[in-house]
Amino acid sequence: MMGTTKLYQNDVYTKKWDATVTGVSENGIYLDQTAFFPEGGGQSCDCGTVQIIDDASGPVLQVVDVQEDGNDVVHRVVTADGSPAAGLAEGCRVRCELDWSRRFDNMQRHCGEHILSGIFYQECGGVNRGFHMGDDYMTIDISLEDEPTNPERIKPDSIDWETALHCERLANEVVWSNAPVSVFRFDNREDAEKMPLRKKLAFDEDISIVCVGSPEHAADCVACCGTHPSSAGQVGLIKLYKVEKYKEMFRVYFEAGARALRDYDMKHDMLTDLSNSYSSSIEDFPDKIRGLEQRAADAKGELIQLKRAFTEIECASLDAQLETADANVVVHHLEHFSMDDAFNMAKSYMGKDRCRGKLILLYAEPATSFILVSDGKIHCGSLVKEYANFYQGKGGGSDVSARAIFTSDENASLFADLLRKHLT
């Protein structure tokens, strides 16, 4: 194999072409020329189809992975159901077609990253030390280590949201200007370094420099092997989602192109549905929610006061019950109390003489559960551990309090009867 001619380096808009299979291996097929971009530079590979030219009735085969192999490009090809493709042999002529929607998506996103990274460098002296194209968003990791190239800007100590939005606006102004996006190729470092690079070169030969705008007025200029549209306007939109501190850098979450528009559409529809459900316009929706939150907070405060008053009434009732009870076990039913409400009531008795030496069983009826309370002379947790499982109960606790949870009122009642007999 003599090396693959990489059509995407000369024309990123090549969508269909014919090629000759120059080799077949367990990793896939090699072509004499290809417009399928191999995975690299933070960008996923292209996909598409190939079909044997001399077998027009044959199956259309799927290109599902493309990787560099030295000077060659290897393509993993499968049938429509994912099985390994057969019939492709050296010398075979094939007609290839790019999945253009996937390619253009990658081009929009990758170019959007270039523009945004260039703006962070100009405005903040931020060097892009990491780039990831995920399914839901892209990220760049910005390290504040250089001085801004914009003489009107002072290097910030951090990237706050206001700074990030400033950079987002400038990045979109580059998009709206429809600045040209050009690729310059150099055989040596010396010539390449004459370009206004925002990042030092990592290699010495076969260098591709992507420049957004002219070299004299570049919005971005950096070495890159990926695919990009011929003009910034084709990116369409750059939208930031959030910024967070990451190690000693700042991780910027964002999206570009059609994905950014889809995200906006989804969030706009969501906000419209929510505002409609609250009989509000989108503009008034935040005030509507704040008003509802305040009313909910007021209602919660009133509920706390009512619960406190209701608990005091129940405590007075229990105190009277304790004073007249002859038995060592006193069961007090709480018809409307949750387990947490019953436990809060129990705090007034845990380990205190107010128990009058008795075991108190506060029964939270909605939860078919007991809160056991004592002054510590009767060990609540031990009683639950020893007897609750007799009646399909479970729970535990300390000497002065415990919980016992049952599957039915009947089982809870049997447990209480057992404790009465045990502590007679």
Question: CATH 3.30.980.10 occupies which residues in the chain?
Answer: 104-266
Q: Which fold has domain 5-98?
A: Elongation Factor Tu (Ef-tu); domain 3 (2.40.30)
Q: What is the mean pLDDT of residues 357-364?
A: 96
Question: CATH 3.10.310.40 occupies which residues in the chain?
Answer: 300-422
- The number of C-alpha atoms within 13 Å of 251 and in the hemisphere containing its C-beta is 11
Instruction: State in words which class domain 300-422 has.
Output: alpha beta
Please tell me the predicted confidence (pLDDT) of residue 205: 85
- For residue 300, pLDDT over 80 is answered with yes
Q: What is the mean pLDDT of residues 46-50?
A: 97
Give per-residue pLDDT as tens, 383-414: 999 999 999 999 999 999 999 999 999 999 99
Residue 424 pLDDT grade (very low, low, confident, very high; cuts 50, 70, 90): confident
Please tell me the predicted confidence (pLDDT) of residue 219: 96
Question: CATH 2.40.30.130 occupies which residues in the chain?
Answer: 5-98
Within 8 A by CB and 6+ apart from 418, the residues are 387, 390, 391
Please tell me the predicted confidence (pLDDT) of residue 1: 57
Percentage of the chain lying above the pLDDT 70 cut: 100
Which residue, among 113, 141, 171, 371, has the nearest Cα to 243 in the 3D structure?
A: 141
Per the CATH hierarchy, to which homologous superfamily does domain 104-266 belong? Threonyl-trna Synthetase; Chain A, domain 2 (3.30.980.10)
First to last CA, the chain: 96
Give per-residue pLDDT as tens, 71-102: 999 999 999 888 888 889 999 999 999 999 99
Residue type, 72: D
State both tokens at 369: 């559960």
Give per-residue pLDDT as tens, 172-198: 999 999 999 999 999 999 999 999 999
Alpha carbon 220 to chain centroid, angstroms: 28
Q: What is the mean pLDDT of residues 311-333?
A: 95
**Average pLDDT score over the chain:** 95
Please tell me the predicted confidence (pLDDT) of residue 377: 93
Give per-residue pLDDT as tens, 98-148: 999 999 999 999 999 999 999 999 999 999 999 999 999 999 999 999 999
Q: What is the dihedral of CA 381, 387, 389, 390, to 10 degrees?
A: -170
Percentage of the chain lying above the pLDDT 90 cut: 91
